[in-house]
Amino acid sequence: MTLPAGSTIGIIGGGQLGRMLAMAAARLGYRTVVLEPQADCPAAQVANQQITAAYDDPAALAELADTSAVVTYEFENVPVAAANALAAKVPVYPPARALEMAQDRVTEKTFLNGIGIATADFRAVDNDDELAAALKAFDGSGILKTRRMGYDGKGQRVFRNMEAGGFAGTCEAMGNVPLILEAFVPFEREISVISARGIDGAVTAYDPAENVHRKGILHTSTLPAGISAGTAAAAQAAASKILSALDYVGVMGVEFFVLADGSLLANEIAPRVHNSGHWTEAACIVSQFEQHIRAVAGLPLGNPGRHSDCVMENLIGDDVLRVPELLAEPDLMLHLYGKAEARPGRKMGHFTRISRRG
């Protein structure tokens, strides 16, 4: 069923992704209401209404359900119980199952392996003895991560060429929370695919972006990626497989490692619009944000093709001081997020340089 123009779309989360979703919704004739505990958040600056409350506040969730014709979200750490409570009253896309699966790295990788998508080797770790055993299995090297809530390089510790054993206190130092040790992958590059699935089951995928990270935060996404057509097709096919297995509705970002032979290992999935898809604003007719709104509103999905090659770059912290010089450049699209304070590691905006094709 197609959502009539003038309907209200609820968005859980008021950050920059919610902001760009609200802007896309307005272009398609929809109103938006944002549930976010921080007043005057980036999304509220462009949405029609903000409910200022915690994401799991029962009264706020009831108001969101009463106000919205459909509810979506801009980040994957939405409480699953809140999503299920909403889904009993109003359609929620993507489905709560996708949230539940993506919120735990062990659950996520087990799911991916179960549908035939390879990942790095991994071990669940709950104490220092299990960490020692896992490191021994991975020849003393690996990345220890929290199973839940980590993002932009947070909640991680790297081990390199270490003898297994002698790690007393490591798990306590990381908060005594469930952990995962992932084996190092000898990858040549990192890519991501932004894909979408509609209510009718139709699937589209944007071209893979090649991503470079600095200090665990995405720095640039470049199109085209330096990969073969076969590798690109395999990444898009894997993303489609994930969407179908979850009976997904909306946009999803899927990150991959590309090995020397062109084969792929899935790194993680994000059940939402994704930072590595921001380039679609400047280089495509239909951005990932419009594509997500189309999907959750029951509209036909748009053409994901790009009219330009491009490089998207994040503005982190004081990078925002570059804005005047960036605005002097031709063929550059700038998007600032409306955040009042620039802090180290904080995403303040992004820009995309385009190079028109043929």
Residue-level pLDDT at 318: 95
Query: Dihedral through CA 154, CA 114, CA 258, CA 198, nearest 10?
Result: -80
Query: Dihedral through CA 303, CA 304, CA 310, CA 312, nearest 10?
Result: 130
pLDDT above 70: percentage of residues in the chain = 97
The mean pLDDT value for 100-125 works out to: 95
Q: 330-348 as b/e, with b when 16 or more CB fall inside 10 Å?
A: eebbebebebeeeeeebbb
pLDDT band for position 140 (50/70/90)? confident
Residue 224: cis peptide before it, omega within 30 degrees of 0: yes
pLDDT in tens, 9-24: 999 999 999 999 999 9
Q: In what order do the strands lie in the sheet with 8-12?
A: 49-51, 31-35, 8-12, 70-73
Residue-level pLDDT at 163: 63
Residue-level pLDDT at 358: 64
Decide: 86 and 131 in contact? Cβ < 8 Å. no
Residue-level pLDDT at 171: 79
Arithmetic mean of pLDDT over the chain: 94
With a cut of 70, say whether residue 312 has pLDDT above it: yes
Residue-level pLDDT at 223: 98
With a cut of 60, say whether residue 152 has pLDDT above it: no
Decide: 61 and 86 in contact? Cβ < 8 Å. yes
C-alpha distances out from residue 141 to 121, 132, 138, 268, 346, Å: 12, 11, 6, 20, 30
Residue-level pLDDT at 153: 54
pLDDT in tens, 27-41: 999 999 999 999 989
pLDDT band for position 129 (50/70/90)? confident
With a cut of 90, say whether residue 135 has pLDDT above it: no
Q: Give pTM, 2 decimals.
A: 0.94
Residue-level pLDDT at 150: 62
pLDDT band for position 158 (50/70/90)? confident
